[in-house]
Structure formats: structure tokens, C-alpha cells
Amino acid sequence: MIRPPFFLARRFVAGETLPEAIEVVRRLNDRGLSASLDILGENVKDPAAVRAARDDYVGLLDEIARTGVDSNISIKLTMLGLDVGEAFCEENLHVVLSAGRERRTFVRIDMEGSRYTQATLDLFHRVLPAYGSASDGRGAGVGVVIQSYLYRSAADVQRLNEARARVRLVKGAYKEPPEVAFPARDDVNRSYDELMRELLAGGAYPAIATHDDERITRTRTFAAERGIPVSAYEFQMLYGIRRRLQETLAAQGHPVRVYVPYGRDWFPYFYRRLRERKENVAFVARNLFRE
Ligand code: FDA
């Protein structure tokens, strides 16, 4: 596939550089939204490039501290050497988590394709005791992501709740075979609702990450029924998607965090966002035509 010019990705990607991304976060903060900054890139296989990515994450933490913006960070273990080896990845992960702890900034480990699920959770459970997971949503610590399309996720959530881990719940963005993931959208949604209830009732400051109105309504209803305050969980959405809904929820008193990706390696992320919704392809095509 031909790589399109960056301006087409601008709706979903904050910029190709860190200063552009910080500017976007400032604007979100002004609108009552917090952020999670993500350096785009995945599957880095050269050890020198992995160390450079690790240093970029530390640089990002420095810049958040220096500018005082309200943002934590999201990281990918395949940028920290998971394809090179688990021990190598763990070393690099410690460097990033220590930097997060020193700067009092929370670090979320994104979840990638199913071939990485077990290794990601193993590494997460290994580092969790050293860095913790602030359960009030503030402060440093480490968290992870669970995808409702995977059959295994109910068991994973149970173990994470027992460990008092902070979990972001998503539907899942990768193309997975029916051996590991629900092929039908209804099943993915049903699983999402079940996991949401488990996390709200027994987890530590879960993040309900979705743009799906029905999932959001069910979350609010369940929390209200159980007397769970809005400050005990947060909603998360992606930069550029359902912006009005983000602001509406924030105005109603819900903590809302926007995932803000930036960097030069934006194509795989952009492609996942296009694949999720055919209207996005039309949107990009219209802009291309306009230029
Ligand atoms: P769904 O796809 O059913 O969409 C519901 C509605 O939201 C749509 O009808 C539309 O209105 C809107 N919408 C959704 N996607 C859109 C798009 N691309 N463009 C425009 N409108 C759109 N995945 C993963 O595998 N690992 C991870 O670590 C993360 N991390 C992550 C963080 C955050 C903060 C979010 C919000 C999402 C992720 N994801 C993720 C992605 C997630 O798995 C999923 O692919 C997307 O959130 C889309 O699913 P929805 O829950 O929004 O529902």
C-alpha cells in the first residue's frame, strides 16, 4: 500500500514531533480533558533502535514534567524490545518505569496483537509490585490493557483485580483469528459489558476506553446502581474521535482522558483507525481530493 502524506492522518495523529503533541495536549487540558501521550511505532527489532525508543519515552516523561501538562504516557512493549527478547524488554521497561516514578507520571502498557498477550501480562505482573498502581487515578505507577474480543480476558481480569492493577478496557484493534477472539461484534460487546462490571466492582480505577454510546451508558448505569462515584473510574477516547462526546462527559463531571499519538511512524496506527470505520476512508479520500 502507498503511504499517504501526513496531512491525511492529522485528524487522528497529533503531529510528527513532540512540541506539536504537547501543544495538542495543552488545548485538550484547556477543555477539561487529560491526556495519555503515545509515541507512534511498534515492532522495533534492532537493539540500538530499541534503546533509542526507550530514551524517547524518557524524553517524553521529561517534557511532560517540564511543561506541566496534564498527561501520562502509553507505551508499547514491542518498541521496548519484546521481539528481541523478554529479558531485554524487561530491562528497558524498568528504565521507563523508574523515570515515570521519579517524575510522578503513570505509565500504561498498551496491548498489542494476541501473540504478545501472555508475554505482556507476564512482564506486567512481574514489574507491578515494584511500581504499584495508584488506585485514585493520580500519581505514578503502571497499568495495562485488556481487550474484550479475546476469550481469555475474563480470567486475565480476575487475576489483575486480585493484584489491584489498573486496567484500561478496550474492544481490541488487531485482526485476530476465531481461535482466540470473538468474531461477532455482539459477543465482543457482551464481553465488554461483563468485563466493565468486573473492573468497576472489583478493580482499581479502571479506564473504560470506548467511543460506543451503549457501552458508555451501561457503564454509567452500573456505576450509579452500585453507588460507585464518577471519580473511581475514567473514560478514555482516541484523539480526533467523538470530540463532542469527550467534552460532554467531562462537563458532566466524568474524568475523561484522550489518547494522543504522535511521531513519524504513524502509518500502522492510522491504518487501524481507517479499518475500524468505512466513513473514515471516505473522509480521507475527500481530503485527498480537496488538496
Ligand atoms: P466501536 O468500534 O464499536 O465504535 C463505536 C462508535 O465509535 C462508532 O460507531 C463510531 O461512532 C465511533 N468510532 C469508533 N472508532 C472510530 C474511528 N476509528 N473513527 C471514527 N469513529 C469511530 N486497542 C488495542 O488493541 N490495544 C490498546 O492498547 C488500545 N488502546 C486504546 C486506548 C484508548 C484510549 C482507546 C479509546 C482505544 C484503544 N484501543 C486499543 C482501540 C480499541 O481496541 C478499539 O479498536 C477502538 O476504540 C474502537 O472501538 P470502540 O470501543 O470505540 O467501539
Confidence band for 109, pLDDT divided at 50, 70 and 90: very high
Q: Which of 54, 110, 166, 257 is catalytic?
A: 110
Nearest CA owner, ligand 1 atom 28? 110
Expressed in angstroms and rounded, the spacing between residue 191 Cα and the centre of ligand 1 is 15
Question: What average pLDDT does the segment 74-90 reach?
Answer: 97
Q: What is the per-residue pLDDT for 7?
A: 85
**Range with lowest mean pLDDT among 1-5, 117-121, 223-227:** 1-5
Q: What is the per-residue pLDDT for 272?
A: 87
Q: What is the per-residue pLDDT for 287?
A: 66
Give per-residue burial for 164-174: e unless 16+ CB within 10 Å, then b. Answer: ebbbbbbbbbe
Question: pLDDT tens across 9-30, in order?
Answer: 898 999 999 999 999 999 999 9
Q: Is the pLDDT of residue 135 over 90?
A: no
More confident residue, 3 or 250: 250
The model's pTM is 0.95
Q: What is the per-residue pLDDT for 219?
A: 98
Expressed in angstroms and rounded, the spacing between residue 211 Cα and the centre of ligand 1 is 6
Active site residue 265: no
How high does pLDDT run on average in the chain?
A: 94
The set of cell numbers assigned to 89 is 524488554
Expressed in angstroms and rounded, the spacing between residue 277 Cα and the centre of ligand 1 is 10
Nearest CA owner, ligand 1 atom 51? 210
107 lines ligand 1 (CB under 6 A): no
110 lines ligand 1 (CB under 6 A): yes
Active site residue 138: no
At 172, phi and psi to the nearest 5?
A: 115, 135
Question: pLDDT tens across 36-65, in order?
Answer: 999 998 889 999 999 999 999 999 999 999
**Range with lowest mean pLDDT among 85-89, 201-205, 274-278, 284-288:** 284-288
Q: Is the pLDDT of residue 4 over 90?
A: no
211 lines ligand 1 (CB under 6 A): yes
Q: What is the per-residue pLDDT for 139?
A: 79
Instruction: Provide the pairing of β-strand 107-109 with 34-39.
Output: unpaired
Question: pLDDT tens across 145-156, in order?
Answer: 999 999 999 999
Confidence band for 290, pLDDT divided at 50, 70 and 90: low
How many Å apart are CA 44 and CA 82, to the nearest integer?
Answer: 8
Q: Which of 168, 215, 220, 257 is catalytic?
A: 168
Domains defined along the chain, listed by start = 6-290 (3.20.20.220)
38 lines ligand 1 (CB under 6 A): no
Expressed in angstroms and rounded, the spacing between residue 279 Cα and the centre of ligand 1 is 14
Question: What average pLDDT does the segment 111-138 reach?
Answer: 90
Q: What is the per-residue pLDDT for 288?
A: 63
Question: pLDDT tens across 243-285, in order?
Answer: 999 999 999 999 999 999 999 989 889 888 888 887 777 777 7
35 lines ligand 1 (CB under 6 A): no
Q: Of 34, 241, 283, which is best to mutate to test ligand 1, by the most ligand atoms within 8 angstroms of its C-beta? A: 241
209 lines ligand 1 (CB under 6 A): yes
Confidence band for 1, pLDDT divided at 50, 70 and 90: low
How many Å apart are CA 263 and CA 246, to the nearest integer?
Answer: 23
The set of cell numbers assigned to 102 is 521519579
Q: Is the pLDDT of residue 291 over 50?
A: no
SS (H, E, C) the chain: CCCCCHHHHCCCCCCCCHHHHHHHHHHHHHCCCEEEEEECCCCCCCHHHHHHHHHHHHHHHHHHHHHCCCEEEEECHHHCCCCCCHHHHHHHHHHHHHHHHHCCCCEEECCCCHHHHHHHHHHHHHHHHHHCECCCCCCCEEEEEEECCECCHHHHHHHHHHCCCEEEEECCCCCCCCCCECCCHHHHHHHHHHHHHHHHHHCCCCEEECCCHHHHHHHHHHHHHHCCCHHHCEEEEECCCCHHHHHHHHHCCCCEEEEEEECCCCHHHHHHHHHHCHHHHHHHHHHHHHC
